[in-house]
Amino acid sequence: MTSTLPPPPDPFVTDDAATRNRFIRERLNFQLFAMGRTTQVGAFLAAVLLWSIFFLLTREALVFAWAALVHSAQACRSWMFWRNARDYPPSRFPDTQPSRAVAHVVPVLAATAVAWGLSAWLLIPPGGAHDAQAPILVVVLFGMMAASIPAIMPQPRAVLAWLTPITLLLAARFAWMGGAQGWIMCTCTLLFGATMGRFAMAQHRLQVASLRAQLEKETLTHELMVRTRDLQRLNQERSRFFASASHDLRQPVHALALFSRSLQRDLAGHPLQPVAGRVVQATDAVSRLLNAMLDISRIDAGAVQPQPSEVAVDQIFLRLAQMFEPRANEAGIELRFHTGPELVTTDTELVLRILSNFLDNAIKYSGRGRILVSARVRNDRVRLAVWDSGRGIAAGHLEHVFDEFYQVDNPQRDVSHGLGIGLAIVKRLARLLGGEVGVRSVTGRGSVFWLDLPRHAPAPLARVTDGAAAAELPAGAGTGRTPRVLLLDDEASVGEAIRLWLAPHCERIAITQSVAAARALVQASPEGFDAFIVDLRLADAQNGIEATAELRALAGRSVPTILVTGDTDPARVRAAYASGLTVMFKPVQPEALLQALRTLIGNAHGA
């Protein structure tokens, strides 16, 4: 009859320690059966060899009695393995065996051990006539005990059930022999059995540790595969989104550009030609703005990832020369390059894009001057700089030139001078490369824009939060007690994790999963909380910013609040910063959360 047993537990879908420990035990059970099956033939042949030798030496009929006994025990053991394979087929249990599968292993193993232990009494009957053959038996049985360790070590009960009967029966037989030889062999037997037992238990502990490490590795591998699939899916969805947005938005703009250019051509000499020219300019501005905004959104959303490779700086400069020398010559600008045989590991295309922006601006604002593109090694970094002899930038503008939509000397927002977004993109790209951009300028004498790059590919950049706190303050600073905190997060697991982390540092932590629950707690005790920790995205209709405003109104004061978010959407990030709350991004470093909480509470009571 086919067994209808439940499938084995899956340790990859739970963090429960009991489930994982049970899985490890069931893998050990599997090894107990797997190793036990491999010893059947060897054990049978050893038994046949042993009783054959002793029958030839002793001609005692008891030899056949022992042969019948030990082979009967072996038959029971074989039947046990057959039954186990029937009840727990490998197709359902390929690498585990349920705990109930070993319920009959220990009795059968103990019976087999007793049969082997009785060999000392039946193959060498008491009376002293055949005591000289005892060393032969010792060699065979000691060899079997040592060879059986891999088969019995998965289960401590199996170790006891196998080694104890053999050791005690053999030692008892040697003690019965008496004399110096008998007692020496008895002592040696006991010591050998104890040593084999300790060795088997040590092997068991090592095997458990190995299985635990293997399980953790498999769990991590499983999680990695799951997350890799999720990332691939998200990346595909993101790519589809940008592809769709680019297509849907660019299509009408592309058509508008064609119409406007045709209109400008056909109205040549017509009084409306200037109007057509303005339409062309406006269309071009929309195209550039669309491209720039899409680029910023992609960079801020993490969709642009550097692809570093080793490249010579002079190769980058060669490509720049090919791109800009014709334009510079046409504008009457002397364009020179100065570099050495430096190598950098970086994304060549992103570097070219940054330097192209610098060069484009330099040509635009240099008049008929000179431009120098240089490279210089500075410790473990390389500075790539674009020098121009243009009109320069006033000191008051320098700190804003990399801001979005910021333009120098263009209050009318003339699109022919750009949209003020190119350097904002440059700054983001430099950060992706692990580098920095900067500018120095003297009015009337020119400017230099530079990009500092690491000579080797950078490590992943750390996530920056606005929750970085100042000097650490004692818990409950200014209150004389530990703080009381309200957490609003619709993820129960997050709430529990924060509670466990902050519990030793707080007098009270109230965990809520809805705005209604948080509202009820604050209404019941308006002065009951020193700080709020609120998630930005909630299951309720309100977001974390709106929920915070309502809770503060109920409390009648501006309760210090940390807004936690896992969003990378630029719009949501900007909204979070615009709220004026302290913003921290998931995953939040526990120490940073505690430090920020202490600082906020201390500042509130010190104000």
In order along the chain (607 residues), what is the average pLDDT of each group of 10 residues? 46 64 83 84 89 87 90 90 85 80 83 89 80 84 88 88 91 88 90 92 90 83 87 73 53 58 77 81 67 59 71 88 88 84 84 88 80 86 87 72 59 46 81 86 84 70 37 40 84 73 82 90 86 86 89 90 74 76 72 83 73
Angle at 43 between CA 38 and CA 44, to 5 degrees: 110
**d(C-alpha 59, C-alpha 493), whole Å:** 75
Does the pTM surpass 0.85? The reply is no
Length of the chain: 607
Question: Distance between alpha carbon 25 and the CA centroid of its chain, in Å?
Answer: 27
Q: CA-CA distance, 449 to 438, in Å (whole number)? A: 6
Question: Distance between CA atoms of 520 and 560, rounded to whole angstroms?
Answer: 19
Q: Which residues pair with 438 in a beta bridge?
A: 450
Partners of 499 in beta bridges: none
Per-residue tokens: 497: 């994790």
First to last CA, the chain: 78
Q: Which residue has the tokens 């009951």?
A: 528
Burial class for 538, CB neighbours closer than 10 Å (0-12, 13-18, 19+): buried
The amino acid sitting at 91 is S
Structure tokens at 365: 């604002």
Reduced to 3 states (helix: H, G, I; strand: E, B; else coil), residue 5 is: coil
Q: What pLDDT score does 266 carry? A: 78
CA-to-CA dists, residue 269 to 18, 32, 86, 201, 274, angstroms: 86, 96, 96, 100, 9
389/116 Cα distance (integer angstroms): 100
CA 416 to chain centre: 47
Is residue 73 a contact partner of residue 109, using CB atoms and an 8 Å limit? Answer: no
CB 248 within 8 A of CB 309: no
pLDDT score at 411: 43
Residue 406 has what pLDDT? 53
Quick check: 561 and 535 in contact, CB under 8 A? no
- CA separation (Å) from 263 to 255, 279, 284, 285, 414? 12, 9, 14, 17, 22
Contacts of residue 50, defined as CB under 8 A and 6 or more positions apart, other chains included, come to 119, 123, 137, 140
Tokens encoding 185 = 């062999």
- Is the peptide bond prior to 107 cis by the omega test (within 30 degrees of 0)? no
d(CA 499, CA 594): 12
Could you tell me how far CA 602 lies from the centroid of its own chain?
A: 34
The per-residue pLDDT for 166 is 92
The residue type of 236 is Q
Contact of 146 with 196, CB cutoff 8 Å: yes
Give the C-alpha separation, 24 to 18, whole Å. Answer: 10
